[in-house]
Amino acid sequence: MTIAVVDYGVGNLFSIKNALERIGARPTLITEPESLTAFEGVVVPGVGSFGGCMRQLSRFEGVLRRALDEGTPILGICVGMQVLFDGSEESPEEGLGWISGDVIRLPDSVLVPQMGWNTLSIKKETEILEGISDEDFFYFVHSYACVPEDRSVLAATTEYGLEIAAAVSRDNLFAVQFHPEKSGVEGLNILENFVRFARC
Amino acid sequence: MLARRIIPCLDCDLAVPLGRVVKGIEFKQIRYAGVPWELATRYYEEGADEIVFLDITASSDRRETMFNVIRATAKNVFIPLAVGGGIKSLDDVRSVFKAGADKVTVNTTALKRPGIISEIAEEYGSQACVVAIDAKRRDGPGDGRISVPTPKGESWFECSFYGGREFAGVDAVAWAMEAEELGAGEILLTSMDRDGTYDGFDLPLTGAVCERVRIPVIASGGCGNAEHIFEVFSKTGASAALAASIFHYGEWGVHEVKRYLSDRGIHVRL
C-alpha cells in the first residue's frame, strides 16, 4: 500500500510517516512534483503559515490537481487543509481553491492558537470518520479556521470560540484541521480509514 | 470544548546511551526514574496529552543521544512531543524537529537572545515554540517589576538562567508577556520554589502570568497529587498542568489523575 506524503519543505514529516507506518501503510516522502505518480493515496501535510505553505506547495499544484481529477484519494492535514480553500486572512497568497470559501482568524474571545484536545461534532457520514464518535478527542494546533461556502462538505466541526470546520470531505478529497498523527489511537484510526479507502 | 491537558515531564540525563529520566527537588537532589522512551510510551498508553523531554545535562556532545531518545519515542508515541534543554541555536532547533519533535522549548537561550523566539515562530510556526520560564519568588515589592500578591505578601518573580544556576534580575511575569509578543505559542511556567516539593503549584505566579498573556500557559513545579492539578485548573487559567515525580514514582497514573479531575467537573480527555 503506497501513500505519497508531499514533502514540500515545511515542517517535520517524521510524525506522519511514523503514524502511517504504524498502521501498515508504506509512506513515501515526495520532494519533486514529477515523482507524484501512481500512488494509491496522497497526504498533504502543512505547518507554519498559509503563505509559506502555498509558496512552497505551488510547484505541486498541477500534479496534485491531476491526482484529484483522476480520483486519487487526497488527505489534507492542518494547514494542508487550509490551502485547499480560496485564501486566508493570514497571508495574501491565493490558495488552491478546490473548496470554495476562506480561512479566517480565530476570534479574540479565545486563546490563540487553539492548542490541545477537542471533541468533534460529526455532521455527515464520511469514509475517514468511520468508527469515530462525538466523544473522541483530537489534537488541534491552529490560529486560523476554514469556512466553506458549501456547508455540505462539512464532515465534522469542533467548538472553539465559534463552530470550526474540523473535517471536510467531497468525493475523493478529505481534509482535517486537527493532527491525526498526533491524536493517539483515534487519530491512527482516521489514517487507517483513509488508507483503507485509498486501497479500494 | 477544549480539554485541559496533563503533561508528564521527563527530565533526561543523557550520560548513558539511551538516556535516563531523573527528577530533582528544587532543581537539586537527583533521583533515577527510568528509561525515557519507555516511560514516555507508558504515559502515552495511560492517556497523557503530550510529553515533554528536558535535557538537563544540556551538553552539546550528548545531542546525538537526545535525538535517539526522540526517535525511539516518536515510533511508539502518537501525541505531541516537546523537547528542550540546551537549545542554543536555530540549528539545534532544526535538528530536534528533524528527529521527530513537534515543539521545542527554549529557556536560557531565549533570555539571552530573545530574537530566537521569532526565528523559531517564523520557520515552524508559533505553535512549535514554547518558552520555558523557571521563576523564583523574591519577597518584597521588586522595584518596578510586576508585583504579585502571595501569602507571603507582595512578591515578584525572577527568571533563572541555566536551570537555576544564575540570576540576572529579569522579571518572569514581564518576560512571559514579552515572549508572547515575540511569537511564543505557549509558556511553560515552572516555579523553582515548588519544583519537586509535592507542595502544589504556585497559584499566585501561575495566575499572574495567565492573566497577562493570551497564549496557553502550562503550570509546572510542585505537583504532588491530583488535588493540586484540580486546584491549579479551578483557580487559574492554566491550559495544562505538567508533573513529573507523581507519575515517575508510581503515586498516580495519568488516567487516574484525569478520572479524578473529570469527576470534579474539569474537562479533560479521557
Q: Indicate the range of A69-83, B61-75, B119-133, B221-235 predicted with least confidence.
A: B61-75
Per-residue three-class SS string for chain A: CEEEEECCCCCCCHHHHHHHHHCCCEEEEECCHHHCCCCCEEEECCCCCHHHHHHHHHHHHHHHHHHHHCCCCEEEECHHHHCCCCEECCEEEECCCCCCEEEEECCCCCCCCEEEEEECEECCCCHHHCCCCCCCEEEEEECEEEEECCHHHEEEEEEECEEEEEEEEECCEEEECCCHHHCHHHHHHHHHHHHHHHHC
Of A113, A140, A182, Cβ closest to residue B79: A182
> Does A62 contact chain B (CB < 8 Å)?
no
Domain extents for chain A?
A: 2-199
Distance CA A127, CA A197 (A): 7
More confident residue, B111 or B32: B111
Flag whether pLDDT at B58 surpasses 70: no
Residue A112 forms contact with B (CB below 8 Å): yes
> Is the CB of A29 inside 8 Å of chain B's CB atoms?
no
Superfamily name and number for A2-199: Class I glutamine amidotransferase (GATase) domain (3.40.50.880)
Q: Which residue in chain B has the smallest CA separation from A185? A: B78
Is A183 touching B (CB cutoff 8 A)? Answer: yes
DSSP class of residue B134 equals E
Q: Is B190 part of a structural domain of the chain?
A: yes
Of A113, A118, A137, the CB nearest to B127: A113
Contact present, B35 and B20 (Cβ < 8 Å): yes
Q: In angstroms, rounded to a whole number, what is the distance separating the alpha carbons of residues A35 and A44?
A: 14
Instruction: Quickly tell me which residue has 520532494 as its cell.
Output: A31
CA distance B33 to B221: 17
Report CA Rg, chain A.
15
Q: Which among A47, A77, A117 is the top mutation candidate for probing chain B, defined by the most B β-carbons within 10 Å of its own β-carbon?
A: A117
Average pLDDT of span B209-231: 96
pLDDT at B67: 87
The CA distance from B66 to B60, in Å, is 10
Nearest CA in chain A to B211: A111
Measured at the alpha carbon of residue A138, what is the angle toward residues A133 and A143, in degrees to the nearest 5?
Answer: 130
Element (H, E) at B10: strand B5-13
Nearest CA in chain A to B123: A48
Q: Write out pLDDT tens, residues B250-269.
A: 889 999 999 999 999 999 99
User: What CA–CA distance (Å, rounded) separates B147 from B193?
Assistant: 17
CB distance from A159 to chain B under 8 Å? Answer: yes
> Considering all CA atoms of chain B, what is the largest pairwise distance in Å, rounded to the nearest integer?
50
Report whether the peptide linkage leading into residue B149 is cis, meaning its omega lies within 30 degrees of zero.
Answer: no
In a domain, B96, yes or no: yes
Q: In 3-state terms, what secondary structure has residue B3?
A: coil
Alpha helices by DSSP H, chain B: 36-46, 63-74, 90-99, 108-112, 115-124, 172-182, 203-212, 226-235, 245-248, 254-263
Decide if B217 is inside a domain.
yes
Residue B268 inside a domain? The answer is no
Residues of B with a known catalytic role: 11, 134
Q: Which residues contact B58 (CB under 8 A, 6 or more apart)?
A: B85, B86, B163
Of the listed ranges A51-65, B14-28, B117-131, B216-230, the least confidently predicted one is B14-28
Nine cell digits for residue B86: 540546551
Contact B241, B266 (CB under 8 A): no
Domain holding B78, by residue range, is 5-263
Distances (CA, A) of A192 to A19, A34, A132, A167, A189: 9, 26, 12, 16, 5
Interchain contact, B216 vs A116, CB within 8 Å: yes
Cα torsion B63, A115, B205, B109: sign: positive
Q: From the list B78, B185, B239, which residue is nearest A184 (CB)?
A: B78
pLDDT bucket at B60, cuts 50 / 70 / 90: low
Does residue A141 belong to the interface with chain B, where contact is any CB pair within 8 Å? yes
Q: Is residue B62 part of a domain?
A: yes
**Chain-chain contact of B3 with A118 (C-beta, under 8 angstroms):** yes
Here the CATH number for the domain that contains residue B115 is: 3.20.20.70
Q: Do B78 and A183 touch (CB under 8 A)?
A: yes
In whole angstroms, give the CA distance from residue B243 to residue B231. Answer: 14
Per CB-CB distance under 8 Å, the chain B contacts of A121 are none
The tens-digit pLDDT sequence of chain A (200 residues) is 599 999 987 667 888 999 999 999 999 999 999 999 889 999 999 877 899 899 999 999 999 999 999 999 999 999 999 999 999 999 999 999 999 999 999 999 998 889 999 999 999 999 999 999 999 999 999 999 999 999 999 999 999 999 999 999 999 999 999 999 999 999 999 999 999 999 87
Q: Which residues of A touch B128 (CB under 8 A)?
A: 47
- DSSP three-state, residue B47: coil
Q: How many domains is chain B partitioned into structurally?
A: 1
